[in-house]
Structure 1
Amino acid sequence: MAGAGFFLTGINSVLPLPAWAATAAQGLATHEIKDRYDLTVGYAPLTIDGRQSRATAINGTVPAPLIRLREGDFINLNVTNELDDDSSIHWHGILVPFPMDGVPGINFKGIPPGDTYHYKYRLKQAGTYWYHSHSRFQEQTGMYGPLIIEPREPEPFKYQRDHVVVLSDWAFEDPETIFRNINLAGDYYNFQRRTVGDFFDEVSRKGLGDAIADRAAWGKMRMMPVDLADVTGHAYTYLMNGNSPDMNWTGLFEPGETIRLRFINASAMSTFDVRIPGLDMTVVMVDGKPVKPVEFHEFRIGVAETYDVLVRPTAEQAFTIFAESLDRSGFARGTLAPEANMTAAVPALRPRPVRDLADIGMGMMDDMQPGDEWDGPDGKKEMKKGGMKKMPSMKGMKEGDTAVPGPNGPTPFKPDKSNTNVAMVISNPQDRLGEPGIGLGDDGWKVLTYKDLRSAAPQPYKAEIDREMTINITANMERYMFSFDGKKFSEHDGPYLFKHNERLRLWMVNHTMMEHPIHLHGMWMQLENGGSNDEIPFKHTVLVKPGEKLAVRITPIEKGDWAFHCHLLYHLEAGMFQVMRVA
């Protein structure tokens, strides 16, 4: 097919992987830069570790073809739908006119079966991005691929080899079945629950009273501190460039070369912790934008984020690229090596992390006295039986009151008490940009955090803030309801309103016990992480920790309706989605 590098017809002739994702990959230099691609969406068989399933593939492969473009070019991307259902493609992180953004029901009608949609726009940026379906669960069943935009001007870092590393999660189970199962029981796929042995370990560390109080608090919230991921390695095979751990994708190098690794998390639901034992990494780009180099050994990548890192192996040996799921239920694995078929040791999975109440902003269990009160998850006062620190309440505060550090701070959240969408409200959200995240930071090596990031790109937007607003990330996980400001998408009265070219400070506060990768279409979010206005990093997706409050600066540059949502696919479908109208 023109522009895709190959043409495939018939279900029996489908290649299992595109050339860029095959093992013994030479690197990106072997792929031609084009300004036109013709993409066909259709069903294809997919075999992983001897098990066969049916995928929704693009040009017959999972992952999809690597699209390589050039900054400043006017490009044509023609997408033909051969599925039985409507389809779409969203160009994740790319600044486009809103009819080209690819979100059905928001900025176009979708692509009906048998139709072709012509995406046409001029590229205003360079960097590492990706593309995926925005129609129901097609992203989960294979519709995702890398999108690389080469810059017009030289980049501020040098390398000799360039590999794309796409992380994803594959389920042999139908995603409609998965969605139904987690709606019936949010912990359906969690087989790492706390045991009696864990309780006695807690008693030895905390004492009997605090251990009992901890269990009672989690029980009252009807939550589990080990409920870290809705869909786990029990259902998922974690993939690297479409290869399972046993298939072992391998990227080649010559000793002494500096290698650029473009990590893309194209998962439906999985957060990964990535390291390469024996090699230091240097981050040079995040979400497609350059950052000042920072050396580190491990990083957490949320769904839809991208990280470009440099490594320089000098020894003629293999190195394992190890991407461990946040809940430690499995991993994706690949290899960097001078020759094909070389392998290195694969690390053992670390113990499954366990959240404590401080991790979700509910306080520590240390100095509470019997009879003390706290604001319970339903807003009612609860009598303490012992163990939990009393937390400051936001009740009675007015809009504009300063509840947390910052120019104004997020507006306190007061949910409708009759709304079952909200299971708990965090009264003391924390600044957590300098924290590596649960399960990280105790291994004796440097973990990259958002606090480390400083932009190396020119700042096109002013420093002065014109307006502030707050969006609360809310949920009732027991009922599998996910929402913004306590309302699912179907319950909101209308879009959130942005003003064209305003400088907006958007606060986000996470009132849930899970990490949420929040993605804004059509414009950049710039993360306020302690840097000056010229240094704050550009992000299209921000991983917000439990109990965290953070602020991003936004300048809406393109009028129209834009999607704003959690990029955990089942959370989006369960209601954590909204529209931002720029007018």
Structure 2
Amino acid sequence: MNDLIDRRGLLRGASLLSGGLMLNAALPAWAQSGTGGLKPDMPTLSGEDIALKIGHSAFTVGGRTGHAITVNGTLPAPLIRLREGQNVRLAVTNTLDEDTSIHWHGLILPFQMDGVPGVSFPGIRPRETFTYEFPIKQSGTYWYHSHSGLQEQMGHYGPIIIDPAGADPVAYDREHVIVLSDWSFLHPHEIFRKLKAQGGYFNRQQQTLIDNAPMSAADRATWGRMRMDPTDISDVTGTTYTYLINGHGPGENWTGLFRPGERVRLRFINASAMTIFNVRIPGLPMTVVGSDGQYVRPVTVDEFQITVAETFDVIVAPTEDRAFTLVAESVDRSGMARGTLAPRAGMSAEVPPLRPRPTLTMKDMGMGGMDHSGMDHGDGAAMDHGSMKMRDKSKAPPGMTVGVGVESIASMPVDRTGDPGLGLEDVGHKVLTYRDLISLTPNPDTRAPTRTVELHLTGTMERFMWSFDGEKYSEGTEPIRFERNERVRVRLVNDSMMAHPIHLHGHFFEVVNGHTGNHPVKHTVNVLPGGIVDFDLTADAPGDWAFHCHLLLHMHAGMFRVVSVRPLEGEAA
């Protein structure tokens, strides 16, 4: 099972890390045509004992070859397929010259097995093996990745599928696992260095005086006075990223096969380091049936936004004997991942052009849901945004550190769970929102929260500094403490002008979206600029858990905290 040929078939002349065999010149069928069987035809590991080896590989896309960090020599890493109710032992061997780790994203397990160096275990030293062992308590679509340095950006990620112990409530005839990711030939530390030197380094879509974007000269001047760029949507863009589907670039046409009339389950995983994607299949509606591995009531949409670290399961039912293009457009529309669903290999459909890039609005600045066109409140009084005190401490909550790392405090943040995402407000078709998500089964804990913990997502593009409540993790922040089994409402307030996917390890939480009793259950939630997201948490997993923005470079820059749930097993309350 471990003698796996490279996912991309492109370690030319290199030995396979798992078996020491020389690479066969012939590409395996799944590397040529994507997946076509009833189950994904990608390298798959299963059973109670699984061996993983982390090492260096060459990776080629778009005719160029770069250096990757891979698991068992593949990018993405092998699919790990498990069953609810089993136990699993995963022996992870580190062949790198630096420490490494694996975090099992979204899995409920003992905190010592969670895989975050310095929080839940020491990490895996070079040329050592660490064995993760835990019971499988859930089913659904998940993934795994490094939590060491910036290895995740270099290819250290892969999918996990857990089949339910009983009948699956989702009926389907065939499935495809679709791992979305971003790849750069620049080393991630070099990307980070460039962003620290100039926050907008990779933004090649800045507005000019002759820009045709729907913004008045007065509005453009206002943004200028505030030293903010309304096109600063993604820190890292298509100027350096190639966007991948299962390791394939857009020119390589990854293809998933179907027979007309089948119900096809597509398991989307956003394993990118920094890229939020907008996903659509022109001409083919998608019925969302799962979010972050948890079942939701079916909702049919034409497009959805998937933030970093989220997963969505959808059902498509193509009836025509033709190809459909799968489009995963980066949120700033600087590039796309592209694949094909087709009845036969070698087919393709028209690839739509990139849509016009969106721009931020005053709503994204935390100015509420008002219409700010014309800069008028509606009462005849014009708003002088240029004279706004963007670091006005009077707007900061007690205890927040408002220094050079806090660019702004949102004066009127609003609940944006009903928003489809930046640039998707007027696309002319149905786009998924968080308010569309309703848990298929009732939420198990019906207790009202006993308190609210409010956290502000803070940062500055200019200095590329990111934090919670104005404090970087490296500055010695105190853990966020919960009593075991405490019922808490956590309020996330985004004071910055970038979306932040916030992930809590070791727990699921209920996103408060108006469907009381059936709130969607998630492990990662996207907080839009100037937005508020509330979630209710039952702190039922004792231990120390990472809590962070899943934009890798934001976490690296300081948007990270530890959640401490006590007492532990055997401790006195």
Q: If the length of structure 1 is used for normalisation, what is the TM-score? A: 0.89
Partner of 1:89: 102
What is the CA–CA distance in structure 2 between the aligned matches of 1:565 and 1:219, rounded to whole Å? Answer: 31
Q: Deviations over 1:284-326 (max 9, x none)?
A: 0000000000011000000000000000001111001000000
Please state if 1:217 is matched with 2:222. yes
What is the CA–CA distance in structure 2 between the aligned matches of 1:16 and 1:480, rounded to whole Å? Answer: 45
What is the CA–CA distance in structure 1 between the aligned matches of 2:212 and 2:254, rounded to whole Å? Answer: 40
Partner of 1:310: 315
What is the CA–CA distance in structure 1 between the aligned matches of 2:237 and 2:109, rounded to whole Å? Answer: 34
Question: Structure 1's 149 and 458: CA in aligned 2 closer, same or farther, altered over 3 A?
Answer: farther
1:54, CA displacement in angstroms? 1.2
Please state if 1:512 is matched with 2:525. no
1:336-347 matches, within 5 Å, as 336-347=341-352
What is the CA–CA distance in structure 1 between the aligned matches of 2:27 and 2:472, rounded to whole Å? Answer: 37
Partner of 2:440: 456
Which of 551, 554, 561 is the aligned partner of 1:578? 561
What is the CA–CA distance in structure 2 between the aligned matches of 1:291 and 1:41, rounded to whole Å? Answer: 35
Segments of structure 2 that go 5 or more residues without pairing to the other structure are 7-15, 567-573
AA at the equivalent of 2:559: M
Given that 1:146 and 1:166 are in contact with CA atoms closer than 8 Å, whether structure 2 keeps it comes out as: yes
Question: Structure 1's 178 and 19: CA in aligned 2 closer, same or farther, altered over 3 A?
Answer: farther
1:70-469 matches, within 5 Å, as 70-198=83-211, 202-203=215-216, 211-212=217-218, 214-362=219-367, 364=372, 365-367=375-377, 369=381, 376-379=389-392, 412=397, 415-417=400-402, 419-469=403-453
What is the CA–CA distance in structure 2 between the aligned matches of 1:448 and 1:2, rounded to whole Å? Answer: 39
What is the CA–CA distance in structure 2 between the aligned matches of 1:491 and 1:19, rounded to whole Å? Answer: 51
Question: Structure 1's 113 and 294: CA in aligned 2 closer, same or farther, altered over 3 A?
Answer: same
Please state if 1:471 is matched with 2:455. yes
What is the CA–CA distance in structure 2 between the aligned matches of 1:506 and 1:370, rounded to whole Å? Answer: 35
RMSD over aligned CA atoms reads 2.2
What is the CA–CA distance in structure 1 between the aligned matches of 2:323 and 2:80, rounded to whole Å? Answer: 28
Question: Structure 1's 372 and 219: CA in aligned 2 closer, same or farther, altered over 3 A?
Answer: closer
What is the CA–CA distance in structure 2 between the aligned matches of 1:561 and 1:145, rounded to whole Å? Answer: 24
The DSSP-based 3-state class of the residue aligned with 2:462 is helix
What is the CA–CA distance in structure 2 between the aligned matches of 1:16 and 1:553, rounded to whole Å? Answer: 52
Partner of 1:208: none
Please state if 1:484 is matched with 2:468. yes
AA at the equivalent of 2:514: G
The answer to which of 490-499 and 342-351 deviates more is 490-499
The answer to which of 300-309 and 428-437 deviates more is 428-437
Given that 2:2 and 2:19 are in contact with CA atoms closer than 8 Å, whether structure 1 keeps it comes out as: no
Partner of 1:543: 526
Segments of structure 1 that go 5 or more residues without pairing to the other structure are 204-210, 381-392, 396-411
1:360, CA displacement in angstroms? 2.2
The DSSP-based 3-state class of the residue aligned with 2:496 is coil
AA at the equivalent of 1:267: S
Q: Deviations over 1:499-532 (max 9, x none)?
A: 1101110000000000100000011121000011
Question: Structure 1's 451 and 19: CA in aligned 2 closer, same or farther, altered over 3 A?
Answer: farther
Partner of 2:56: 43
What is the CA–CA distance in structure 2 between the aligned matches of 1:332 and 1:61, rounded to whole Å? Answer: 19
1:243, CA displacement in angstroms? 0.2
1:394, CA displacement in angstroms? 5.1
1:468, CA displacement in angstroms? 1.1
AA at the equivalent of 1:314: T
The DSSP-based 3-state class of the residue aligned with 1:39 is strand
Given that 1:21 and 1:241 are in contact with CA atoms closer than 8 Å, whether structure 2 keeps it comes out as: no
What is the CA–CA distance in structure 2 between the aligned matches of 1:176 and 1:557, rounded to whole Å? Answer: 37
Partner of 1:561: 544
Given that 2:477 and 2:561 are in contact with CA atoms closer than 8 Å, whether structure 1 keeps it comes out as: no
Given that 2:416 and 2:532 are in contact with CA atoms closer than 8 Å, whether structure 1 keeps it comes out as: yes
What is the CA–CA distance in structure 1 between the aligned matches of 2:519 and 2:167, rounded to whole Å? Answer: 22
What is the CA–CA distance in structure 1 between the aligned matches of 2:268 and 2:53, rounded to whole Å? Answer: 25
What is the CA–CA distance in structure 2 between the aligned matches of 1:429 and 1:492, rounded to whole Å? Answer: 28
AA at the equivalent of 1:369: A
Partner of 1:403: none
Question: Structure 1's 229 and 32: CA in aligned 2 closer, same or farther, altered over 3 A?
Answer: closer
1:492, CA displacement in angstroms? 3.9
Q: Deviations over 1:258-298 (max 9, x none)?
A: 00000000000000000001101000000000000001100
What is the CA–CA distance in structure 1 between the aligned matches of 2:354 and 2:212, rounded to whole Å? Answer: 22
Please state if 1:59 is matched with 2:59. no
1:372, CA displacement in angstroms? 6.7
Q: Deviations over 1:405-428 (max 9, x none)?
A: xxxxxxx466444x1111100121
Question: Structure 1's 17 and 515: CA in aligned 2 closer, same or farther, altered over 3 A?
Answer: farther
Question: Structure 1's 341 and 469: CA in aligned 2 closer, same or farther, altered over 3 A?
Answer: same
The DSSP-based 3-state class of the residue aligned with 2:99 is coil
Given that 2:323 and 2:340 are in contact with CA atoms closer than 8 Å, whether structure 1 keeps it comes out as: yes
Please state if 1:23 is matched with 2:3. no
The answer to which of 365-374 and 541-550 deviates more is 365-374
1:5, CA displacement in angstroms? 8.7
AA at the equivalent of 2:102: I
1:490, CA displacement in angstroms? 1.4
1:252, CA displacement in angstroms? 0.7
Given that 1:462 and 1:503 are in contact with CA atoms closer than 8 Å, whether structure 2 keeps it comes out as: no
AA at the equivalent of 1:58: V
Given that 1:526 and 1:552 are in contact with CA atoms closer than 8 Å, whether structure 2 keeps it comes out as: yes
The DSSP-based 3-state class of the residue aligned with 2:243 is strand
AA at the equivalent of 2:187: D
Percentage identity across paired residues of the two chains? 52
The DSSP-based 3-state class of the residue aligned with 2:215 is helix
Which of 481, 491, 498 is the aligned partner of 1:497? 481
The answer to which of 437-446 and 180-189 deviates more is 437-446
Given that 1:517 and 1:542 are in contact with CA atoms closer than 8 Å, whether structure 2 keeps it comes out as: yes
Partner of 1:402: none
1:227, CA displacement in angstroms? 0.5
The DSSP-based 3-state class of the residue aligned with 1:202 is coil
AA at the equivalent of 1:173: L
Number of equivalent positions: 545
Q: If the length of structure 2 is used for normalisation, what is the TM-score? A: 0.91
Partner of 2:516: 532
1:12, CA displacement in angstroms? 5.9
Question: Structure 1's 22 and 507: CA in aligned 2 closer, same or farther, altered over 3 A?
Answer: farther
What is the CA–CA distance in structure 1 between the aligned matches of 2:493 and 2:49, rounded to whole Å? Answer: 41
Q: Deviations over 1:452-507 (max 9, x none)?
A: 00001353223321221101100011111000011000124421101110111000
